[in-house]
Structure 1
Amino acid sequence: MLTAKEGWLRKNHKSGTWAAANARRWFVSDGFHVFYYEDNTKSSVRGHFDLRNVTSIRPSADAAAPSAIDLEVAQQSTERRAKRLIISFVTAPDDMASWLRLWCSAVHPRYVDEKLKPSADPALHAHFNTAHAEQPAPSAKLNRFSRKWSQTRVLTPRASSKDLTDQLDTPRETPRAAPPPSAAPPPPAAAPPPPSAAAADEDVTFEVTVPEGVKPGDKLQATTPAGVKVKLVVPENAEPGMSLTFTLPKGGEKPPPPPTDQAAIAIQSRMRGMKARKKEEGGGAGAAGGAPQGPPPTPDEQKAAIALQSQFRGHVVRNEQQEQSRLQWMEYYKQPHVADFEKARELAVSPEEEDAIEAAKMIWADEEARRVKWFKHYLDRGNLKEAAKLVVTPLEEARLIMAQVRASNGLCACFVGESKQALEARREEKFKDAIKLYEWDIAETLALSAEEIQDVEDSKLRVDLMNAAKVKGEFDKALAYTITLAEREAIEASRAEVEATLQSATAEQAAAAAKMQARVRGQKVRGEKEKEKMEKASIVVQKQFRAHADREQEEERRRITWMHWHLQQKEFDKALELAITKDERQVITDAKAKAQFPDLCKCFNLKPRPVGRKEKFIAAIRNYDWDTAQLLAVSDEEREDLEDSKNRVAWMLHYTADGKKEEALALAITDEEKAEIESKG
């Protein structure tokens, strides 16, 4: 069974709320390990945790997070929460079910919310415990000073186990649908059957304490209160005194079966005992042709046996039909033109079938690598007709179109296959479709002119701003960024969902709101009293400050008068020493340039304006325009850069106001900042 998966998901930032900050990350789930990276190159890890240390997995309580779950991860083998993650599947809605099946099966059943328990697969849970029980657990805290992740203890240690419970002679599972047509190459008509593992309604969790003298790898034998014997393998890093937990299907608390089923079970039990005694005694009176031992079955037992045999014969026929359907679908998924090996592996029921699927996958991977290699070879050599035969993905089609467009400038249409006008029209159509579908890699490949390259950057920024506004609940602002009907419908749907959630407040929420209002009113009264105290204190401070303010106003008037006088006398250096604001320095600099180069064309004085999003972001930080920089920040690094810049400027101004010139100069970056600090020194 598949215990690994990777793909794009979105998560919150540093255990905060979804509206505060969230980012797209490349998640890699391998066994019990979950790592998430900056992008799909996996070069920069942003965090990790172990599914055995998850103490809660449930639907997200954050209304701003679309299609999301909440994960709480413990640390140091205790249930104390170390990290809270909000993970949204909005980037891959089709994969949400497979992600939930994978994680809900790996997390201990006691920590899975009731709403998500249908996503858990007991067979996959057992496979996790068998295949990955000895995996070391990565810590939930990222160590930024080491390239190797740190380990931690496991909250719910696992051990490989076998199903030791006896099964009934007759299967009890529900018969499946009829098989599809027998032809394998086309997709079967019937829906594919679900995985064959049957899940119990509930699991019972047991704990075993590791005794003294036991080492990792040793086997422990335990007996449950119901009398079931279980063998456990002591996992790695287990120490004497630690508790090992394991789960078994909950069978002892089910309601008693009806009288007919009880009679059938009694018959089966009696028949098993007779067979066992015959083997031990070498044949008894019944084998020699005499009368059978024991009392004859009652009429109820005979009726139950007849009904059970009738049901079993029909069930066998349906099972045979379902088996044919399963094999046909599995062979269909293994075909090279389908290559959906994950679904084929879900239908496998034996190690031999899984090995056959893995072998088919390896053959397909080799063929795919050869195809990609030859496609690149033909594309580099200009053999576009042969390259066109090997195109499979939309990105490869975009690369072929660009090669054809470039080749059409110097070749006849007979070599390329289409005229230059037709190729250009097809390129523009694919380019516009890629932007509408947010396929940025294809759009960047098809962009030919500087305007189209800038269009891609602007579109990416527009979509990021639209999504950020939608996440924050600013739907009117998000609608202002939309350009297509589908985007507007998606925004309106999100607005309707949020409004419906807000309107569905329960009586408990109303009571909680009343308590909160009472608390707020009390805080408001205390705040008014504090405000009154502050006003009285401010009156005293204002009296002391007025004289100081008058002196400062007089100094400011004298500074401006002398600065203008030096400017009129063309003493620009002295005027710059008295300048404080950027506008004053700009006026003096322009006057100085005009005096030095009076005949210079004005077009040479034009400063290059920022073009792309990054340039605008840098310019906003240099101009202390924090609101614009906040809107332009996209990645976590840019948000951290913005916060660092705001703190740096705040401390620089604080040191400057206190007369700490050296500390302020240590924080200055630009020449304007240094000149301003020197002028005030």
Structure 2
Amino acid sequence: MMTMTKEGWCLKTHRGSKFNKRSERRYFKLEGFNVAYFKKDTLADRTGKFDLRKVTEISACAGEDSDADLVLVLPGKRICVKFEADAEAWKTLMCSAAAQSAVAADLQAYHSEEMHAAFSGTYAAQKGVSSASVLKYTSGASFLTSPRAETPKATAPKPAPAPEAVAPAARSLAPKSRDVEPEAVATTAAAEYATEAPAASPIPAEEAPAAPAASPRKEKKSPRKSKTKAAPAPAPEPAPVSSAASDEELEANRKEWYNFAMENKDLQMAKELYVGHEEEARVKALEAEAATGCAAAGDAELEAARVEWLEFHVKAGEYEDALQMCVDDKDYALVHDAQEANRGEWLAHSLASEDVYSAGNYAVTEEELAAVEDLKIKKELKAGNYGKAKKLAKTPAQHELVDASEEAARKVWLDYHTQAGEFKEAGKYTVSDGEAAALKAAEAAYHESERATTFEAALAAGKYEQAKKLASGEAELAQLDAKREADRKEWFNYSMDTGDFKNCYVYAISEEEEAAVKAAEEAYPEKCRVEWLTFYLAESDWKHARDLCVTEAEYADVDAKQAAQRKANIAAAKEAGDFKKAAKLAEADDEKDDVAQAEEAHTEKSRQDWLSYYIEVSDYSKAVGMCITPEEEAGVDEKFEAKRVAYVAEMCKQGKFHVAKQYALNEEEIAKCDEHEEAQQEASRLEWFDFYLSECKFDKAGELACTTEEFARVGAEESSFNEKCRLEWLSHHTAKGDYESALGLVVSSEEQ
């Protein structure tokens, strides 16, 4: 059995934009001829719908829509769709549901006559849905009709919507629906017209509509302030229906809303609700009445709204919508002039940006077409396509422009190849004997420059044979000989210094140089011995140094340097505290005694350092353990006693008397701690006593009073404060005229 329903996620174009530039993900549901799409797969938040029977064209996508699978064109709507899964099944269902004439040739394979017949048989009675959005589809720049084509006129003027039945508030110049996303508005407005008959009345059964303002659909408002107009009679109150309404009740509800739409001349609602030929005839009559124009109907309000909508669409560049508002030649001329001005602007922009294709679409007049041809020639010249430019040139001026550009390019290439040393290529661009002679001279100069450069390089690299072949003139030959002789001497001296006497004889060219080589060769072994002896002395390698000695002076020098090095090593070991190493290096008795004394001094210094450290950190047991004389022990005791006394005093100062008493060693120190504690407590008591008196907290001050004078002071302060308060309240009540309260505060006849 054929299935004629399908659901799944797809990508679609957004508000008529190009698919490759912007698309949005929607959940599509195909049921018979009707297709709806939603934001969620729970079928919530429907954003649009269309009827496959109304598709005028269905084809494969190309150009800026090439990423999509299908493009469907409907009245007032164009949708590009890409299926995320099962694309073949989707194409078969949509192409089969649409009329065969609407399916493009490259998609005819997806159109099944058998399935089309099944659609028509199963869903013949299926109610159609409107595919138009709340905001009309506005063509973008890519869908502009050719400026050369004659501007079509609308078959009939589109009347403006009726004004609100209730007194309207001031509105902005733009329609209210334009402030909302088109699909979002479509969801709220179109959702109230389901494809099937509604399950219940749009108005609660208990509450009838008061006026057309409660209409279940949103009307298009006038962009200007509407005048108050008497509200028509309200729609008759529908009978209450249950949630499980019968077909008769649903039909009665439909008729009720249909009559409501006809009475209020809501053509869109009436078209969506009519059933049968009689109701269709009434709708067509209403449409014909509206087509006669607002002025013919005698409704000045509608005519004013039409004019304002016309001006609005023209200003917004929505010319197709503006044409729907035209009713006479003046209106069509207004739209045509605006379109022409817009075309001129786009033409100027295309010419300035060198967009030949767009400029050709916008050009209309001979002058504009000539400007486009000039632009084509300039672009070809800019690309270096002079052959194409010549074919495009038609006027003498254009031919002159091409010839001048080609000549300028020829000279540029001639100079380029000449400077690059490509003289064969440059010769192709010469056109006169003068240019040929100049090129020949430039070539000669270039080769001479190359020869001189190569000669200098060969000379510097010591390639004398190559330099000789490149030499030109006596001066360069002399330069070559001088360089060869300087290099020979340099190598002769280098071989002499490195002991390469075999090469020295090769480089020697005179008897004096040969004699010098022979003398150097005889002296070379002694020279090497002295250099190695010096090296071993520097490295303190006394054994190898002594092996190379040949004189008593050299032996004595080695012994002296060895002894000096040994003493330096002993001093370094003592400095580092490595006395074992120093003792091992010491040979003489005085050296051994010196090492022993240094070790004793180092040990004593370390003991003194640790003794001072333990005293500093108050580690008495370890400090005593470091002492070696009774005097040192007495000194430790004295220092620790001083630290104890200072600590007791510090604890008393900080008010930590319990800690101080722990470190007190006799009754006298404890008594001093008690005295400090009592003095501090007394000072604190007096400080809090004065504080409570200053804050007028006399009860707390009385608790801290200890002497008769302090009790008397608390009483005096409290009496003074109470008297002050009594006088202030007496003045306050008197000033406010509250004499009863004031008399309650009087204490003397004078005050009374």
Q: What's the TM-score, normalizing by structure 1?
A: 0.22
Higher relative contact order (CA 8 A, sep 6+): 1
Which structure: larger Rg?
2
More helix by share: 2
More strand by share: 1
